[in-house]
Every structure is written in structure tokens, then in C-alpha cells.
Structure 1
């Protein structure tokens, strides 16, 4: 009995061992063309430690450090895949394992489909570091020391001249093994694309980054940037200071002399209102009287409609810029953040053009109202004319700049069509015998200068009411001295 039981146990144990062996064996894919990933079976070194990085790199260098074992055929050209160790000296990647960048090479056949994947570790650039996101530019095109770049029309990408590109173009091909990186402290690397004879659809000169002042309409870095924006920002701050100074000329709650006392009384009233039942009333005023402009609507539906086209378009662009900046700072690789910083994304392109069209419609309506129809209640002052002129010029030059960008960069029609204002305009500009590589920077600077002038003029022109009216409505609620006839 005991002997039979022992035999049964041995049979069960044998079957279990066989099953474990069978289930633990790697399964050969039925598709002969499917690559076998080595790391599915072999244990990878822990590349998050110095020892693991060194061991992983030594494994790669055991072959790629020998010239005779690193020759491969690429068409008619022999390519050396021997990696010079000196190219890693002083390199930011000198303590990074090869497979952390070359994520798809540990397989059979031992070849890559994607190349080095910089974004496995790095995020895309925002508006600041490279003056623009450069979403259609491969990382290597800027960061590698090889200076020859080409435009791949099939993928709408700017990349280093590859081996094939070197054979089919006049540009030398980039080496496959050089890991030295370009010093990006200056603009020398920018000139590989940004020159008058470039064939990659880039402006002839590297343009400055947007300023934080541009955030009214564009996602922008939190930096002032070009000197013209410093000048505009200084004038803006001086104007706001003078505006506040004017507010405190009169008396505040009976205090007519001491400026310090006036500021103290105002601050006390504001903070006490924010932490009291008045807060709900203040929020209601913000929503109804400022955002929805109820007081203007009570006066005239036509005036409200015209004013709303301008106000809502600017407010929406500003809100979208703030949202984009916040989202990108939190999750720069998120799909929504990447879509919002991509001017060619269908949703972003359509939204920008739609809001720009609303703004332009409101400006044209106001201009016709003042200069053509001339109703009795409408007084055309020089301040009004300057304001309308600045906003109108800003929008129209903005559309021209966007159209020139689409034309210059060669955005495919199936993508550019969502920019329903910029794309048709770019087709019209295409008939002009102009070198858009040279013209585009002039348009960009024209748009920037008009924008800077608009920002600087805000506290002095008619548009200063975007500061004074909300403040007036707010203080009316704080002090309880509401004037219903004030608009």
C-alpha cells in the first residue's frame, strides 16, 4: 500500500516538473518576421544603479568597441558601428546605459526601427528653452554635433541627414556612432536650420522667444524676453501705478490726506469682504456684470454684441493660454498638453482661428459703427481710434504671420485645412514671388512690435477700462455705495 502511494506521488511530481518546464520555456512566435526580444528571457541589469549601467554598457561595448565586428552593409555602403568611447567624455549621457536610449535594440534581429528615443527620459521643449516647442524637429537635429539636417516630407519631420539622405542629397550623412552633443548655450546650433538658404522650411533667422506679455493671446514662458517687451512691460507697470495713484487722490472712508491710511483702509475693506458674506455678492458681480456684461446689455443689445465679440475672444485666448501653461508645467508629455502647444493640431488651429475671427469681426463692426454709420451717441475720439487700430493691426498681421508660417513650413494640406483662416490665406500668399524664409521674420517682428505697443498703451488708452471697470464694480460692492448708472 505504501509502495503504491509512493509511486503515485512520484508520478504526480514528475508530471508537475514537466508542466513547469513546458510553461517556463519561451514560446517561438509563429510569425517568422516577428522580432525576438532578448530581455523577455534574459535578466536585464538594473540600469538605475551605477553598477548596472556600467555592466550594461560593457555588454554592448564588447561588440561595438571592436571595429572588425561592427561592420554592416547598408545598401552599397559599409557602415562602422564601432562606438568611440571618447564621445562619451563629458557627455550628459556618460552614466546612462545604452538600452535606456536605444530601447528597441535588445532583440533578434539586432536592429532598431525607431533609433534613440530621447523622450523616454526627456520631455518636449516648451515656449522658453528653444524659443518654441519645435514639435516637428527631431531631438538629434539640434542636439548632435553633426550640422547637416534634412526635411522628411513623408513624415513632416526635420532630422539629421541619414546614410540614405547622404547618398541622395548634397549633404554629408550623419555618423551612426558619434554620441557627442552640441553646446546649446548660444545660437550656433540654430543656424544649421535658420539661414537664408535652408531647405527645411525654417525662417532665415532664429527668432526670440515669446514674452510673458504675449500670454494675453499665446502660451508663453514666464520671462520678459526681448528688450522691446521689457520696454512695453515697464510702460505698462508705470501706467498701472499712475492709475492706482489717481484712485487714491480722493478720500477713502473719510481719510483725505494720508496715502498710507487710505491704502490701509482699502486693504482692510477688501479682505473683510473676501472673508464675509459679501464674497458671494462679489462673485456674482464678477460673473454677471463683468464676464456677461449685464450693464452694457441693459443699455443696448447691439453694443453688447459688438463689445462681446472683442471681449470674449480676448478673454478666451487669455484663459486658454493660462490653462495651456499650467497643464504643460504639470504634465508636459500629456496628449492634451501636446495638442495645446501644437499650433498645427486640428483643434488648436481651429480654435485660434475662430477666436481670431470673432475678434476681427468685433473690431470691424466697431470701426464701421464709428467711421461709417456714426450714430449720435457714438463719439469717435483719438483714443478710440488708436485702440481699434492697434487691435485690428495685431489681428490682421497675426493672420498673415500664421499664413506665412504654414506656407514656409510646408504643413500638409490635410492638417493645415483646420486653420480655416490661415490656410486659404497661405495659398493666396503662395502666388507672390517672395522668399518667405526672409519675409517671415519681418512679419513676426511686426506682430511682436504691434503687440508690445498694445500692451504698453493699455493703461493710457480707452482699453484701460478693462482695469478700472472691474475695480469700480468690486469697490461698489465692498463699500456698499453702488451706482447703477455707472457703466
Structure 2
């Protein structure tokens, strides 16, 4: 019985402790604001007390608010004597070591009344209700419990209304409330010659309200971005999160996901990007304007290249490559989350050569023997091929085609039946590319169509643990497959039948070079960006990054390595139509055609 009692006592004590923590946290959040909820004040213990009775020092100030006071905490304004001037019985109790009739240990702790009591919402401790008060409901919803119910609060005195005209809690969803918030901010931060503005100008640049009216965010509340601007400790407020209203740029716009770069580092004017020492994130600091008029709210990138060169310049300390690299193009899609762009010379040249090779192969194909060879000219044959494709796709034969593509192309059933060792080696090279292509195309499509889905940005983030791990794993599997293919080709070179082509060593070499260079690129990126959190899961790149530790010119080296990687990729794409690698395009077509042909014969 005692054990059970101890168990429940411990659990009850834990609940009480958590309740106190939550209560104290909520109290701090309530009275930290400059605004007062008039409804809660009205029904509080001080509801009938004039503002000046407690804030009598305000009357003697030359102006209010004073920008020199906005950075103070609420405790800096508190004076216990103000409370004791009315609550002298509390002071008498404290001198006896009591509070609310209970013995206390630390009397000094109880001299700071606002630690527990919010003066603007503190309820009466000994209230004389008329039996209608429901403790489960908010007090301000029970006006009839204390007096005759009314539809609105009684008017304030002239001096109290003067205070509440600024300090009344506003409904920011209304036009009047939004305008009031903006006016409150501009009262100190706007360009002008008032004492408040002059004092503010000593700390931060002022805002030209006319120029601000033309900025993108002129129509929204200041507190939409400056979330804690209306609370005590004004200068300690955190910055708003742009991503609560906006989505990240896709990779065609930003050329790569800038997951570790603050939006402001690119979009704000009059700032300088800086690298945070703690987490290597790219943040920003303000550059003092020459006329002390802030331009930081002008966020339209009129010169995108100039915005990029804030970070991308020779010798930067931000972990950025020295040149602005183009976005990953269509030729990168088999390996990366790329874009449907053709903006760099390497891609253009590679695709031109690839298309010429494809046209030559197609021309040879339609002149060969087969069901289409009976047609008289090439145009008729091309139209016939196109019509046959459309007819097969939009018919029941599409199921046969899909089955062939899945079973014989994706899972390579025929190769498995011929040789399991060849199937394994081929799969080690082929399937990782399929996985990376699917990953990249899903990430691209979702980032363009559903950018609000957060998982897609993890798929694009090279430092995200799962992304880094899977891409390094598939890269190593590809290299292992190429090594095994080369060994197998060397061992079986004498057994190859006469007339059959040799193993395509050029294609294997290009693939190996592309993947190996990819690991070196990743290692250089990790080292250049200061070994960011999450990069350790990209185990291959993390290991390679140790080779670049201490290198002082990675911003230049990385750019050159990137172009070598791109040129190797372009060379492979251009080489495909003229090599045995052309089977990666022709095999699916032939297997689909054969499946349709076999299906037709079976039906007959």
C-alpha cells in the first residue's frame, strides 16, 4: 500500500511541476508584450485602477515611447514599491517570512511580483461572485457573473484612453489594426526629425516611407517578418522565416538548392553575406548606408547575376565556388536531381552530336528489312512507324508493352536466364542509375508542382542524411559493377566468338570517370563548405573530403572539377549513339516491339 502511495505521490508531484513550468512559461509570454488585452484588464484585479496609478513616471517623460527603452526587459521597469504602495499587507507578510499566509524560505524571490502575477490579467483573489461564475470558461466571456451583462466595455477615462490608444491589443486581421501596427513601427523607424527618430537613427538606419511603399512587402504587417517586434527586449527579436510565406527556388532558378543559405543573403539590399561559425550557415549582416536610409527592404533582384556574385567570387570565405555555375541540365538527369535546361555549351554540343547519331541510326533502321520496308519511301515509313506506335499505346497492347518494359528492361529477365553473373554485374551498373533517375525526376517534378511538400527539399539537399547516404551507396555500387565487368571481360576475352564486338571499354571508362569525379566533387564541396552537419552520412564524399582538408583554393578548384565532370558526362552522351551503349535506347524499343509481335501471333 505504501509503495502504491509513493507511486501516485511521485506522479502527482511530476504533474504539479510540469504545470508550474507551463504556467510560468505562459505568463512570461503574456506580459512580455507591449499590448494589453482590454477585456482581460477590465476583469482583472486592476481593472478599475488607472494606468497612471502604476505608471506614474510616464507623465514626467519628455516623450514616450523612448527608443532607448525598447530594448529593456519588463523586469527593468518593475519596482516592488509600486505594488507595495497598495498591497502593503503583502509587504508586512514578507517581513514576517510569509506570503499568502504560508511560510516561505527565500523572501527576496517574492519581491519580484511579476514573476507570478501579470498585473494586466491577474484575477481577484477574493472575488464576490453571484453564483453564476463558471471556472471552466474564460472570465471575459462571463460578464453577467459579476454585474448586469453589457454588450461592450464601459468607456475609459480620458487619461487611460490616451494610454490604451497605443497599448490596446489590436486585431491585426482588420485594416485599422494593421495600419496601427505599421504606424507604431514608423513612429520610431521612419525617416524624420522627431526625437524618437533621431535616437533610433543612432542604432539602425531609418526607412524612407515613400520608397518603402514600392517594396514587395509594403502591403503586409511589419510583425509578419519581425515576429517579436512588439515585445520587451526589442533588439533581441529573431528574424522571420521567409519560408513560412514563400517556397524555395527550384534548381533551374537557383542553379542548385541553397538549403544552407538564408533567403536574405541573396534578396536583401545593403547587406553582406557572412558565414556563421557555429553551423556554417550563410547568414547576413547589414552594411551601413551612406545616408543612413535603409534599403534592406528592397528585395527585387533586378540583376540576378550581381546577387550571385555576393558569394561567388575568387577567394571568398563563405564556402562558395568562385564562379556562378550553370544549373544541372538534362544530360545530368540519369544521376542527379537536374533540370530541363540546356543552357551550357557542354550540354548543347553533346545533345547535337547525340541527335545526329540518333538520326543516323534511325535512318538506317527504317531502311532495313522488316514490316515497314515494304512501304515505298522514307516519309511513308516514318508516318507508318508513328501510327503503329500510337495505335499500340492507345490499345489493350499497352499492358503487354508495360510488362515487357518492367520485366525485360527494368529487371532484365532475359539476361538473368542467360547468365546470372552477367545479370548481377549489369544490374550493379544499370539499377543504381535507374534509382537515381527516378529520385531526381520525382524531386524535380514535385519541387515545381508541389513546393509546399517538405520532403522534396530533403530529396534535393545533398547534406540530408538519407539523400547523401543513398547517392554515395549507389555510386559505389556502380564503380563495383564496372570493376567486375572489366575483370569478367578480361577473363573471358579468349572465349569470345569471332566476329562479335569487344567489350566497350571506352563506355565503361567514361562511366567510371564520371562517377569517380563525382565523388571528388562531393568531397571538395564538403570540405569547401566546412563539413556541414549531415555530410558525414555521405560516407564516400566525406572520406574523399579529407584529401582537401587545409586546401586554400577550393573555390577555384571546385569550379574546374565541376566542368571536367560535366565534359565527361557530355562526352558519354555524345558517344552513346556510336557505341554499344546505344542498346540502352534501342533495347526497350526492340523488346516492346517483340512483345507486341508475340502477343499478336498468340491471338491468331
Equivalent of residue 330 in structure 1, options 449, 459, 463: 449
- Residue in 1 that maps onto 2:424: 305
Q: CA deviation at 1:282?
A: 2.1
Cα distance in 1 for partners of 2:308, 2:334 equals 28
Cα distance in 2 for partners of 1:117, 1:474 equals 51
* 1:33-72 C-alpha deviation (Å, 9 max, x unpaired): xxxxx9995311446xxx8765653342133225632578
Gaps (5+ residues) in structure 1? Answer: 1-10, 26-37, 167-171
Preserved contact between residue 524 and residue 548 of structure 2 (Cα < 8 Å): yes
Q: CA deviation at 1:410?
A: 0.7
Cα distance in 2 for partners of 1:330, 1:193 equals 29
- Residue in 1 that maps onto 2:22: none
- Which has more radius of gyration? 2
- Residue in 2 that maps onto 1:199: 317
- Residue in 1 that maps onto 2:244: 120
Preserved contact between residue 311 and residue 320 of structure 2 (Cα < 8 Å): yes
* 1:56-115 C-alpha deviation (Å, 9 max, x unpaired): 533421332256325789xxx951363232542542233333223223434445455321
Q: CA deviation at 1:266?
A: 2.9
Cα distance in 1 for partners of 2:133, 2:504 equals 89
Q: CA deviation at 1:122?
A: 1.6
Q: CA deviation at 1:391?
A: 0.5
- Residue in 2 that maps onto 1:399: 519
1:390 paired with 2:507, answer no
- Residue in 1 that maps onto 2:382: 263
What are the within-5 Å matches in structure 2 for residues 42-441 of structure 1?
A: 42-46=170-174, 56-65=181-190, 68-69=195-196, 79-80=203-204, 82-88=206-212, 90-110=214-234, 113-161=237-285, 178-181=296-299, 183-250=301-368, 251-253=370-372, 255-371=374-490, 374-377=493-496, 384-412=504-532, 415-430=534-549, 433=551, 435-441=553-559
Question: RMSD of aligned C-alpha atoms?
Answer: 3.4
Q: CA deviation at 1:383?
A: 7.6
- Residue in 1 that maps onto 2:562: 444
Cα distance in 2 for partners of 1:185, 1:81 equals 24
Q: CA deviation at 1:147?
A: 4.6
The 1:19/1:186 distance shift into structure 2, 3 A limit, reads closer
Cα distance in 2 for partners of 1:266, 1:322 equals 28
Q: SS where residue 328 of structure 1 aligns?
A: helix
Q: CA deviation at 1:140?
A: 1.4
Preserved contact between residue 71 and residue 81 of structure 1 (Cα < 8 Å): no
Q: State TM-score, norm by structure 1.
A: 0.81
1:22 paired with 2:136, answer no
Q: CA deviation at 1:207?
A: 1.3
Preserved contact between residue 528 and residue 555 of structure 2 (Cα < 8 Å): yes
Cα distance in 2 for partners of 1:458, 1:40 equals 72
Cα distance in 2 for partners of 1:17, 1:427 equals 68
Cα distance in 1 for partners of 2:279, 2:198 equals 29
Cα distance in 2 for partners of 1:255, 1:140 equals 66
Preserved contact between residue 207 and residue 293 of structure 2 (Cα < 8 Å): no
Cα distance in 2 for partners of 1:444, 1:211 equals 13
The 1:301/1:175 distance shift into structure 2, 3 A limit, reads farther
Q: State TM-score, norm by structure 2.
A: 0.66
Cα distance in 2 for partners of 1:464, 1:84 equals 63
Q: SS where residue 192 of structure 1 aligns?
A: coil
Preserved contact between residue 407 and residue 427 of structure 1 (Cα < 8 Å): yes
Preserved contact between residue 53 and residue 95 of structure 1 (Cα < 8 Å): no
- Residue in 2 that maps onto 1:169: none
> Bigger CA drift: 174-183 or 399-408?
174-183
Preserved contact between residue 367 and residue 373 of structure 2 (Cα < 8 Å): no
Q: SS where residue 351 of structure 1 aligns?
A: helix
Cα distance in 1 for partners of 2:453, 2:504 equals 43
Q: CA deviation at 1:182?
A: 6.1
> Bigger CA drift: 372-381 or 455-464?
372-381
Preserved contact between residue 265 and residue 284 of structure 2 (Cα < 8 Å): yes
| Aligned positions, number | 445
> Bigger CA drift: 324-333 or 58-67?
58-67
Gaps (5+ residues) in structure 2? Answer: 1-127, 143-165
